[in-house]
Amino acid sequence: MKQSALFTKTRKEAPTDEVAENAKLLIRAGYIHKEMAGVYSFLPLGVRVMNNIAKIIREEMNALGGVELHLTALQDREVWEKSGRWSDEVVDNWFKTKLKSGTEVGLGFTQEEPLTRILSEYINSYKDLPKYVYQIQTKFRNEARAKSGILRGREFLMKDLYSFSRTDKEHEDFYERSKTAYTNVFTRAGIGEKTYLTYASGGTFSKYSHEFQTLTSAGEDIIHICDVCHVAVNEEISKDVSSCPVCSGALSRTEKAVEVGNIFSLGTKYASVLGLSYTGEDGEKKPVVMGSYGIGLGRLMGTIVEVFADEKGIVWPESVAPFRVHLISIVGANGEVVKKEADALYETLTQKGIEVLYDDRDLRPGEKFADSDLIGVPTRVVISEKTIAQGKLEVKDRKTGTVSMLSQSELFQDLQ
RNA sequence: CGGGGCGUAGUGUAACGGUAGCAUUCAUGCUUUGGGAGCAUGCGGUCCGAGUUCAAAUCUCGGCGCCCCGACCA
């Protein structure tokens, strides 16, 4: 994409109504726009990052055997009353509204109820199970207090997968596999080393649930880490769990972290109250055993910003970066020659399937460099009179700052 | 929801109750071109509503909005 096609502009100064580093940088660089407290629009650059995150998640969920669907945001009161979760006393962060007829509807904050109802129309026999269903969809939560930029909003994109199994054993097997899939997601998104499988309170159906917690000072949670097993225990259960649940060793350090994902066993609660059952080989009807598995896409994006950003701006891992290469032309007195070279390289890279942001704007070099650092594309390639004279390209790594002079073929090789 | 802070051009900031100023952005022109250039000219603002006052950005009340701490986060 040519940068001149973007309508967004970078800003030198951070907005005063944001304290969170992720929001400051993402707004300054033109990835997001704040509509209201806790409500952010995603601008063209932001959408590209979100799409990359979604792609990783889809691939891992599909590999798990998941099938994607898309449920409605508008929620039918009736199905939620059956599960006991319609009442504001039970769930205090519902957004509710009314149809013209006066009928109350909700805006979904999760989707166990409607999905269970849908499945109950199709699942009859043990032969129909297990099934794994997911979506990437907008969730609404009427948080009393939005905070931390895009880490905790009132409207946000979330991947939610639901598992439907015949037995506890079958559920447990999938639950374990989902841990691996989640680990893959966070590794591919670049934050694997900083992300810990964390034991947290389980609710009614299992002793623990599991969270994926990424170390950052921007986090709201406190976790107790076992460095031997690379797992952690959430502060909320540290009274009951004082040693590593895996090796029984000591939990050696305490850190702030943000919950980028969670997985939860639901037992047969929803299946029972919503009539989702199957007939077993023995001819008996049994309720389906469920689990739910969430990842907040915006929160993941914000966490990546928090983890990698430096004093100059955002630093994206290649896997989620809006572009692979930021091509910058420095157009001086001999502008036509430089422009021609840069145009040609842009074409070549694009034809090779490499995503390029081409800064074709007529600006001074300093401004282009500053923008490039702020936007955070992994590899910066500069073409100027200087580089043309040398017959090379100046290639800079955003993360390390390493600059090297490469030929075109060397650059292509590096990018493969 | 409890407590605290704050609302001034698009953005960031000044202004004792007395002419709303500076920087940046934007527009135009000239110069400039390897780390957010220079000069000149121009456009653009007191969150909303009441009240006090000769006079309100400034004081009072109400509303709306934003931020922070705490509670909450199924």
The structural domains of chain A, ordered by start, are 3-308 (3.30.930.10), 325-415 (3.40.50.800)
Closest nucleotide to A333 by C1' from CA: B33
Quote the strand ranges of A191-334, DSSP E. Answer: 195-201, 208-215, 221-226, 231-234, 253-267, 277-279, 285-287, 289-296, 325-329
Point out which residues pair with A170 in neighbouring strands.
none
Which nucleotides of strand B lie under 7 Å from a protein CB?
1-2, 10-13, 24-26, 32-37, 65-74
A343 Cβ neighbours under 8 A, 6+ residues apart: A360
Measure A17 CA to B50 C1' (Å): 28
DSSP summary character for residue A351: H
Measure A152 CA to B3 C1' (Å): 21
Measure A3 CA to B25 C1' (Å): 18
Phi, psi of A176 (to 5 degrees): -65, -40
Q: What is the pLDDT of residue A203?
A: 67
Closest nucleotide to A313 by C1' from CA: B36
Point out which residues pair with A36 in neighbouring strands.
A39
Let me know: does A222 contact A196? Beta carbons within 8 Å: no
Q: Is A16 exposed, middle or buried (0-12, 13-18, 19+ CB in 10 A)?
A: exposed
Measure A27 CA to B57 C1' (Å): 28
DSSP summary character for residue A165: E
Measure A48 CA to B17 C1' (Å): 53
ipTM value, please give it. Answer: 0.93
Q: What is the pLDDT of residue A205?
A: 67
Q: Is A144 helix (H, G, I), strand (E, B) or coil?
A: coil
**Nearest CA to A390 among A363, A408, A372, A367?**
A408
- B7 closest protein residue (CA to C1'): A17
Let me know: does A231 contact A245? Beta carbons within 8 Å: yes
**Nearest CA to A291 among A152, A177, A214?**
A177
Q: Is A30 exposed, middle or buried (0-12, 13-18, 19+ CB in 10 A)?
A: buried
Q: What is the pLDDT of residue A204?
A: 64
Half-sphere exposure of A37 (CA within 13 A, CB side): 8
Closest nucleotide to A332 by C1' from CA: B33
Q: Is A91 exposed, middle or buried (0-12, 13-18, 19+ CB in 10 A)?
A: middle
- Dmax (CA) for chain A in angstroms is 85
- B70 closest protein residue (CA to C1'): A145
Parts of chain A with a pLDDT under 70? 203-205, 333-334
Measure A356 CA to B32 C1' (Å): 29
Amino acid identity at A244: C
A344 Cβ neighbours under 8 A, 6+ residues apart: none
Q: What is the pLDDT of residue A332?
A: 73
Q: What is the pTM of this model?
A: 0.96
Q: What is the pLDDT of residue A96?
A: 93
Q: What is the pLDDT of residue A335?
A: 78
Q: What is the pLDDT of residue A333?
A: 66
Q: What is the pLDDT of residue A202?
A: 80
